[in-house]
Structure 1
Amino acid sequence: MAGPQPLMLHATSVAVDGRAAIIRGPSGSGKSALALQMIALGAELIADDQTCIHREGNDLIVDAPDTIRGRLEARGVGILNAPAAGPARAVLVVDLPPYGSTPNAPRLPPDETEDLLGVALPLVRGVDAGHFPAALHLYLKYGRSD
């Protein structure tokens, strides 16, 4: 019996030490901007705006379509060339709300997961706060204490 078919998501993905975050949200929500900030902190670009996802055993692997590999949109600047990391294992889904607004976000959010291709990944909801890119970078590098 064949496994789930690969997915193409309207999402940006970045990785730290081979551990990737899938950043989702509607157009204009700040996916590329968040990726730029994380890259400035040392993350690597996997894909901007379109992320390919496939399952290998119990892992989800993210990669870029060849047509956009190593390209990142910076609003007001244009399409930038960026070093492209190879495929990476997804460990986190980040959902950004429209236009970066998250009123009354909890300091310690409840544990949530998102199921993609039959694999449950932790889900973090984006907050409009200066620390958010650094917090995600640390999450990818070291995980979260539960």
Structure 2
Amino acid sequence: MWTIVTGDSNSLNRPLTLADTNRPGLELAGYFPDTQTKRLVVLGDKEIGYIEEQMDEISQRRSFEFLTGDNTPCIVIAHGHECPPVLKEIAKRKDFPVFKTEHQTSHAIVSITNYLDECLAESVVIHGELVRVFGVGVLITGKSGMGKSEIALELIKRGHQLVGDDRIDCYKIHDDLVGRTTPMLEGFMELRGVGIINVSRMYGVGAVAHETQIEFQIDLEPFNDSYEYDRVGIEEKEYNEILGIKILKMTIPVSQGRPMSSVIETAVTNFLLLKDGLDSAKEFEERVLSQISENKKEEFDASVSEH
């Protein structure tokens, strides 16, 4: 539970641009250089103990005048501690927001940081389908008319989950790429010739996921007879960088009658094996090279015995 100690609605208009928090040990000791004033300030057990036992009123006023500066978003007092009277007086005079919570300091910081990480996350919108296949967030991209929605629907019918259709909002949260769709579009799909369908009502609430970490991208392209596709998989892996995060990308040709849902399931299964350090293509290559080496040895032994 969070309680407002000081500050009215206008005080909440302060900009908050950083997800990191500041536990102001040095500031309470009177050292202000190099302080990141744009961070949210958290006062926990140690800070409150130091304020009550070590700081006189003059030193408190000096530190609290600094901590309630124009750049500081707010102060949060954790673990149910009361707001120091000097801080409350200064905050009321400045109309500065101070909050209080019963949560332990560490829990409060984790909650604040996680919430701000999501709210302040860098984002980009990508056109495509986002599905969870065997628990893996798969971003399906390709030109319009490639049948992305139809393929996603087939995957849903096979027990996988839809996260977003057509518009995917991608966020960089910590070091993960997280995808979701807008609340208005969540759970809905557009199928050409059919219109808008409600996936959760047609296939159950388990057919839709709110968000997922994007780990794998499958880019669909029309099958080209003149193009030499990789049939073994030993070529260098291709990656796509989104918001500074690299994810494995696989280009799959689409042709009439090809069972794309099965192909994508196989690709995802192979991706899971790669994550576990099992590369089927390299394993096959090593088997071929071993067989070639064995054949050469047999030829050499045969030529030696002839002479």
Normalising by structure 1, we get a TM-score of: 0.84
Instruction: State the secondary structure of the residue aligned to 1:73.
Output: strand
- Contact 1:41 1:137 (C-alpha < 8 Å) held by counterparts: no
**Runs of 5+ consecutive residues of structure 1 not aligned to the other structure:** none
Asked whether 1:101 is paired with 2:223, we answer: yes
102-111 or 80-89, which deviates more? 102-111
1:128 & 1:8 partners in 2: Cα distance?
Answer: 24
Question: Taking structure 1 as reference, are residues 126 and 82 closer, same or farther at Cα in structure 2, changes over 3 Å only?
Answer: same
- Contact 2:123 2:170 (C-alpha < 8 Å) held by counterparts: yes
Question: Taking structure 1 as reference, are residues 141 and 59 closer, same or farther at Cα in structure 2, changes over 3 Å only?
Answer: farther
1:135 is aligned to 263
Asked whether 1:122 is paired with 2:248, we answer: yes
Runs of 4+ in 1 over 3 A off after TM superposition: 1-4, 138-142
Question: Taking structure 1 as reference, are residues 44 and 69 closer, same or farther at Cα in structure 2, changes over 3 Å only?
Answer: same
| Number of matched pairs | 144
2:153 is aligned to 36
Higher strand proportion = 1
42-51 or 133-142, which deviates more? 133-142
**Pair member with larger Rg:** 2
Asked whether 1:65 is paired with 2:182, we answer: yes
Ranked by relative contact order (alpha carbons within 8 Å, sequence separation 6 or more), the top structure is: 1
Normalising by structure 2, we get a TM-score of: 0.43
**Runs of 5+ consecutive residues of structure 2 not aligned to the other structure:** 1-17, 20-119, 201-207, 280-307
Instruction: State the secondary structure of the residue aligned to 2:232.
Output: coil
Higher helix proportion = 2
- Contact 2:121 2:173 (C-alpha < 8 Å) held by counterparts: no
2:212 is aligned to 88
1:93: Cα distance to partner? 0.8
Q: CA RMSD in A?
A: 2.2
2:159 & 2:142 partners in 1: Cα distance?
Answer: 22
1:45 & 1:59 partners in 2: Cα distance?
Answer: 19
- Contact 1:63 1:88 (C-alpha < 8 Å) held by counterparts: yes
Q: Pick from 164, 170, 185: which aligns with 1:53?
A: 170
1:94 & 1:71 partners in 2: Cα distance?
Answer: 21
